[in-house]
Amino acid sequence: MRFLDFRQGGRARFVALVGVLSLVAVACETGDAQDVLSPAGEFARAPDRLWNLTFGIAVVVFVLVEGILVFTLFRYRFRPDRKASQFHGNTKVEILLTAIPALILAGIAVPTVSTIFDLAEPREGALQIKVIGHQFWWEYQYLDEGFVTANELHIPTNTPVELTVEGGLNDRVTGEAQVIHSFWAPRLAGKQDLIPGHANQLFIEADDPGIYFGQCTEFCGLGHAEMRLRVYAESESDFEQWVSDQKSAPEAPSGGSLAERGQKLFAEGQFREGLNCAACHAVEATPEDVAPNQGPNLAHFAARDTFAGAILKNTEENLKAWIADPASVKPGARMPALGLTESEIDAVVAYLKTLE
Amino acid sequence: MATAAYSPRRGFFTRPRSTTGKWSWFFTVDHKKIGIMYCVTAFIFFIVGGLEALAIRSQLAQPNGEILNAEAYNQFFTMHGLTMIFLVVMPMGVGLMNYLVPLLIGARDVAFPRLNAFSYWVFLFGGIFLYSSFFLGGAPDGGWFGYAPLNETLPGHGMTFYALGLQILGVASLAGAVNFIITIINMRAPGMTLLRMPVFVWMTLVTAFLLLFAMPIIAVALFELMFDRAFQATFFDPTQGGDPLLWQHLFWLFGHPEVYIMILPAMGIVSDVLPTFSGKPIFGYNAIVFAGAAIGFMGWGVWAHHMFTTGLGPVANSAFALSTMFIAVPTGVKIFNWIGTMWGGSLRFTTPMLFSIGFIAMFIIGGLSGVTHSIAPHDAQQQDTYYVVAHFHYVLFGGAIFGLFSGFYYWWPKAFGKLLSEKLGKVHFWLMFLGFNLTFGPFHVLGLNGMPRRIYTYVEGMGWDFMNLLSTIGAFVIALSALVFIANVVITRRRGEEAGADPWDARTLEWSTTSPPPEYNFEEIPIVRHRDDFWHRKYIETPEGEPARVLAGGAVATHEHEAGHGIHMPSPSYFPIVAATGLPLLGYGVIYFNSTGKALLVLGALVTMMGLFGWVLEPGAEERV
């Protein structure tokens, strides 16, 4: 019942499974949406180079040591005529076998430390975006452009993007708690924790246009599994177009339409506890609205592919089910069921569909 | 009979007299009985934690699983972790230490027998307390790591049970740690110098020191959490000036030494099993001992590798990346020495030997994936994915649990006088080995393919379906292997082969006494002249440098007609269990901090105090019946 449009049939690939005393068990799988081993930008490639080095060494060590182990077991297995030699040790061998691993590790240590410092370097001309983790969705504030969006992050290709990531806020209306999340789009970069009270930096970059998938990787409560995200990498011109779309005000629905009724309900309805949608959701992403919202900013919502932490396809059907009872669709969802009637829901959905 | 050196005055506080019968188990201070109770209790928790794992794996067998909802899943994975760490691996290790350390060092009991009993009862009550949360509104659901500020904001009592349950279990560990340190330092038989001690005793000593310094750290964190949750303090609340990262530092400063607390006893077991079945002394005894101690020290300097993604900055990340890499060196030393122990030997592939070899083979994999975590920039990819789950199951299941089973098979005949069936034992080993790799091998691939931990569901099309199914099948194979073990135990009880004192032709002192050993362990306190003293009583070196059996060497004295004559053993005591009973009452009192809760607090305090008073005031000994 979850309608995700992951790129089906991504290239088939073979993954070696480090198995029992051998390197066999090969499985053929499709799907590389969050594949760590398919980096798509410099900030994922740098760690990947380290991985390739270390994994290569680990495989050699694995084969050697397990090989010696198996050889020992075979060579010295019990035979009635075999006498166990009674030696207690061999200092030279021991020093050698202590020094070799230490040298190998030193060989890994050098590139590791230099990569750690490289990745922490500030990048000039980076696009600045602030990411705030909420239970259970992502808020993106485009600091220079001055607008806010949610869950689907748009970035230009071949441009470093500096994400300033932070934990969410306590919220009395939605009951959201301040907890740690972690932003992870594996093909673009390693993860970075969003910690309340700490602002952390994370750089991402994509070489090619495309949709890059990710999700929250720090356990954050009931909705943790369904706190997903997408990064849309677009060419410079597409990205600029998207930015100017985001900054434009939405067109008002035509008079007397269902959507107009929906707009009224959205902004002025008196539902459970006197609340309405606008109590938490803004629909304009103007610079004044950059202040944190309680729910996702819905400016240009109709242009998004997904909603609810990027788990639901943005269809009328899904929207209706969601508005009727969010927590039944996504456990732990903070959006309350406001008890709208079916026709009210239809109207609100019609309105949301006009927010191109 | 026994006429004690002092005449006990019977007063209000008396000691139980019987050391046999079922009630004797409640009041025993015999380290062997306590060791058995530890292991049995831990094994029951192993079954429970295993059932939780089966539920988790069933839920994840396919995308969009519908066996557990998010709420139940979060409780199950939290309790699975807490159970396996605090109620299984640690107490199983402690159980074996209890049973074996006095026997291995030629002592009659531990230094503080009643404190030892107290440790056990606190552990048992702490475990029951933690599990009672399932019936009182829901178990802890914030992960075993219980990160702030989520640990404060999760509704219900779950995480309060976590804070208090672990606190109670920590009391048991601390008391045990003190006891083992003092026992090992003070109670060794004459001639048992530190560098003649069996490696298991050394690893126990290192583990006990780690516990002694690690448990207070988590105790502080848990008290802060308790105050935050129950009494509206703000240690970890960033809106009030608290800091969530404080929890992580405290937790992992405890949590990483904790990893070594779990693995070092298993390393000790392997180091004693391998020489016996290789027919050789251990290779590089000093190196193995110093490597264990080095791990104990270095283990304090790696905690922030659990925090590479929290933004500590490049300097801290580099420092902890380096320390994490180099802790692999002493670990490697151990592995090479174990292989060296087998090299040139005459290897008997008994069940305990197979489990020990399985330990080495699996620990190599876990150790190597551990090294890949140390490359901090890529750890940011691995962190909180199934790749990490694969790593720590390879060290804690493939490592610790395999080592513990090796110990069970090895010392079973000593404890119960009967050999576990070798045939069923081998079936157990191969099923567990296969099931283990089938379950946790695929986790490496899943993690690198981007599957995060602690998610109760995933969608199709991520490329995770096949590996998850494989892993679930593996989990059921492990469950089957556990059933084979249970069957083995039942069958052995009914008609197992009599073991005799020394069924394995072993090397250390515990095999020089009867199986099972008498309450007082040794008729006479042995005088130790060599490392592997018992071996040297059985064999002498020929001029060619080969061992030759000494006629009747290592014979076991069984003067049953005068058994125990004149040997003073501590009497059983009512008060350890009484004192332990108060702690969970205090725990419930804090959780339900209303008038009932406050009454429970008073009651718990009174019970524990009464237990302690009785402990102090009871007579030093009671005449035996």
A208, two tokens: 């090619």
- From the list B153, B326, B462, the residue facing A34 with the nearest CB is B462
A302 touches chain B (CB under 8 A): no
Q: In whole angstroms, what is the distance from residue B428 CA to residue B434 CA?
A: 10
Q: Do B448 and A224 touch (CB under 8 A)?
A: no
A318 touches chain B (CB under 8 A): no
Q: In whole angstroms, what is the distance from residue B203 CA to residue B184 CA?
A: 11
Contact B404, B89 (CB under 8 A): yes
> Distance from CA of residue B599 to its chain's centroid?
35
- From the list A37, A73, A105, the residue facing B328 with the nearest CB is A105
- What is the predicted pLDDT for the residue at B560? 53
A173 touches chain B (CB under 8 A): no
Parallel, antiparallel, or unpaired: how do β-strands A161-166 and A127-134 relate?
Answer: parallel
User: Which chain A residues touch B361 with a CB distance below 8 Å?
Assistant: 20-21, 66, 69
Picking from B274, B290, B381 by the largest number of A CB atoms within 10 A of its own CB, the best residue to mutate is B381
User: Which chain A residues touch B463 with a CB distance below 8 Å?
Assistant: 10, 29-33, 35
Q: Do B368 and A62 touch (CB under 8 A)?
A: yes
Q: Do B283 and A87 touch (CB under 8 A)?
A: yes
Q: Do A54 and B372 touch (CB under 8 A)?
A: yes
Helix (H) or strand (E) holding A63: helix A42-75
Label residue A286 exposed, middle or buried (CB < 10 Å: 0-12, 13-18, 19+): middle
Q: Tens digits of per-residue pLDDT, B362-382?
A: 999 999 999 999 999 999 999
Residue A142 forms beta bridges with which residues? A129, A147
**Counting one residue from A and one from B, how many pairs have CB atoms under 8 Å apart?**
327
A18 touches chain B (CB under 8 A): yes
- Per-residue pLDDT at B159 exceeds 50: yes
User: Which chain B residues touch A88 with a CB distance below 8 Å?
Assistant: 281-285
- Per-residue pLDDT at B562 exceeds 70: no
Q: Tell me the average pLDDT of chain B.
A: 93
- What is the predicted pLDDT for the residue at A284? 80
Q: Is B428 helix (H, G, I), strand (E, B) or coil?
A: helix
Residue A133: phi and psi, rounded to 5, are -90, 130
- Spatial neighbors of B176 by CB under 8 A, at least 6 apart, are B94, B97, B116, B119, B208, B211
Among chain A residues, the shortest Cα distance to B282 is held by: A88
ipTM: 0.92
Question: Looking at residues B174-193, what average pLDDT do you find?
Answer: 97
- What is the predicted pLDDT for the residue at A292? 55
Q: Tens digits of per-residue pLDDT, B385-440?
A: 999 999 999 999 999 999 999 999 999 999 999 999 999 999 999 999 999 999 99
Picking from B152, B343, B394 by the largest number of A CB atoms within 10 A of its own CB, the best residue to mutate is B343
DSSP state for residue B133 in the 8-state scheme:
G
Closest CA to B270 of B207, B202, B358, B356: B356
The 8 Å CB, 24+ separation contacts for B18-26 are B18/B572, B18/B625, B19/B519, B19/B572, B19/B624, B24/B572, B26/B577
Share of chain B above pLDDT 70, in %: 95
A314, two tokens: 């943005």
Share of chain B above pLDDT 90, in %: 87
A198 touches chain B (CB under 8 A): yes
* Cα–Cα distance list, B519 to A132, B184, B388, B581 (Å): 64, 19, 45, 26
A3 touches chain B (CB under 8 A): no
In the block, residue with structure tokens 């798509």 = A40
Q: Tens digits of per-residue pLDDT, B90-103?
A: 999 999 999 999 99
At position A172, the amino acid (one-letter code) is: R
User: Which chain B residues touch A73 with a CB distance below 8 Å?
Assistant: 342, 347, 349, 357
- What is the predicted pLDDT for the residue at B591? 94
- What is the predicted pLDDT for the residue at B9? 54
A40 touches chain B (CB under 8 A): no
Contact B299, B324 (CB under 8 A): no
- What is the predicted pLDDT for the residue at B564? 56
Q: Tens digits of per-residue pLDDT, B207-243?
A: 999 999 999 999 999 999 999 999 999 999 888 888 9
Q: Do B384 and A192 touch (CB under 8 A)?
A: no
A73 touches chain B (CB under 8 A): yes
- From the list B237, B361, B463, the residue facing A29 with the nearest CB is B463
- What is the predicted pLDDT for the residue at A179? 93
Q: Which of B4-8, B503-507, B563-567, B603-607 has the lowest mean pLDDT?
A: B4-8
Q: Tens digits of per-residue pLDDT, B21-64?
A: 888 899 999 999 999 999 999 999 999 999 999 999 999 999 99
A164 touches chain B (CB under 8 A): no
Q: Do B149 and A55 touch (CB under 8 A)?
A: no
Among chain B residues, the shortest Cα distance to A20 is held by: B437
A170 touches chain B (CB under 8 A): yes
**pLDDT tier at B271 (50, 70, 90 boundaries)?**
very high
A79 touches chain B (CB under 8 A): yes
- What is the predicted pLDDT for the residue at A117? 96
- Per-residue pLDDT at B106 exceeds 90: yes
Instruction: Show pLDDT as tens, one digit a residue, over chain A (356 residues).
Output: 333 333 333 333 333 333 333 333 333 334 689 999 999 999 999 999 999 999 999 999 999 999 999 999 999 999 888 888 888 889 999 999 999 999 999 999 999 999 999 999 999 889 999 999 999 999 999 988 888 899 999 999 999 999 999 887 777 667 778 899 999 999 999 999 999 989 999 999 999 999 999 999 999 999 999 999 999 999 999 999 999 999 888 888 888 899 999 999 999 999 988 889 988 898 887 655 555 567 899 989 999 999 999 999 999 999 999 999 999 999 999 999 999 999 999 999 999 999 98
User: Which chain A residues touch B378 with a CB distance below 8 Å?
Assistant: 47-48, 50-51, 54, 190
Q: Do A27 and B285 touch (CB under 8 A)?
A: no
Q: Do A58 and B369 touch (CB under 8 A)?
A: yes
A180 touches chain B (CB under 8 A): yes
